Amino acid sequence: MLSSTQPNRNAQAFKYFAGVDISKRTLASNCLNGALQSIVREDMSANTIEGCDALLRRILNTCGLTTKSQRSQLLVCCEHTGTMSTFLVATCRRLGIACWRADSKTINDFAGKIVREKTDPADALRIATFCYRFADKYEPEQVDEHSIEARAAARRIEVLQGTRQQMIKARTAMLNRLEAIESFGFGVDLAGDDVLACQATDTMEQVIVCLNAQIKKLDALLEKAFQAPAVAAKIKIARSCPGVGAVLGAELAITTHGFTRMLNPRQLATHLCVSPHEYSSGTSVKRRTKTSKKGNQSAKTILSMGALSSIRVNGAYKAYYDRKIAQGKHHLVVLNAIRNKILHTVMACIRKNTMYDKNYQLTAN
């Protein structure tokens, strides 16, 4: 069992800490009490609505949490595995149980680089211990009607955005393959009019045409999803900012759960791993300040594309980029600074609930 050298500062709020390791079809769980003793262990449960309901009710009954008010003493923690954790989160919400979807990298860093046992029950125990140790970091989910509608709209955008990205990847792979065949496949061993080879390239061209049509259809569906009442105004504000288009606006809506969480730009920058941090120890270890390679790589790439597009047009970001490059700054350093500027600008406009104004001037009170 992992040990904790510091007392749990949130012991007054939670008395039981359940860790759930989620896979595509099964769940493994372990529930600890305030003394880090395992009181409920389930090595195999079905990852379905019914399976999650039965699992959580067994934990509640074993812990003696029979009333609705007593259920607030239980905190359930799992890794943020995307859609695979949907059933558990929904069941916790329905039963009135606090559910914490923690970042998997944070849990792994807590466990340490050396993991002697890698099984689902062992992972569930590690998650439960992490839940006990950092329960004070848990932020309750907003359950008001607007937040629920905003999260639903963000999930809808996530489905469309993810499908669009997969189709773009498939199209890029198909285009690269077609170019390779046309450049190097003919002329030596194959004649330029080889029937079977030409049929293969024709098929790929047809697939590319089909993918282009479907991507355009998804673009239209995304625009329709942006019109959901819970997120329409916020996305419109975000897209008014320089460097923010439909794709980046969708990614920001997804990351912030419909602009209901992580609205602090520094917190958002740290979450996306575009905030540089110092790396030093004593007098012998001192590396250059840099950003982490962790985080959502897809979101970072989209944010980078937004920063690149913003410096290609005349505006504040282009002037800033040209000035810093003239001062001798590296291109990637300046680009990362612009990524942070985009996040700060968007969140400032969201906080003030106003469209971006390039002529905005601070006024003294």
Mind listing the pLDDT tens digit for each residue in 111-146?
A: 775 566 678 899 999 999 999 999 988 888 777 788
Mean pLDDT over the full length of the chain? 87
pLDDT at 15 over 80: yes
Least Cα distance to 314 among 256, 242, 265, 245 occurs for: 242
pLDDT at 327 over 90: yes
Contact 348, 313 (CB under 8 A): no
pLDDT for position 114: 55
CB-based burial label for 305 (10 Å; 0-12, 13-18, 19+): middle
pLDDT at 362 over 60: no
154 to 101, 164, 207, 248, 259: CA distances (angstroms): 16, 15, 30, 13, 9
pLDDT at 40 over 80: yes
Q: pLDDT exceeding 90 applies to what percent of the chain?
A: 56
Contact 77, 136 (CB under 8 A): no
pLDDT for position 188: 67
> Average pLDDT in the 253-261 region?
91
Least Cα distance to 308 among 295, 316, 317, 299 occurs for: 317
Q: Distance between terminal CA atoms of the chain?
A: 57
Q: What is the spatial distance between Cα 31 and Cα 127, in angstroms, rounded to a whole number?
A: 10
pLDDT for position 277: 77
Handedness of CA 235, 239, 243, 249 (dihedral sign): positive
Alpha helices in the chain (DSSP H): 49-63, 86-95, 104-111, 120-133, 145-180, 195-225, 232-239, 246-255, 265-271, 297-310, 316-326, 331-352
Q: What is the spatial distance between Cα 275 and Cα 300, in angstroms, rounded to a whole number?
A: 11
361 confidence band (pLDDT: 50, 70, 90): low
> Average pLDDT in the 139-156 region?
85
pLDDT in tens, 287-323: 777 787 777 888 899 999 999 999 988 778 999 999 9
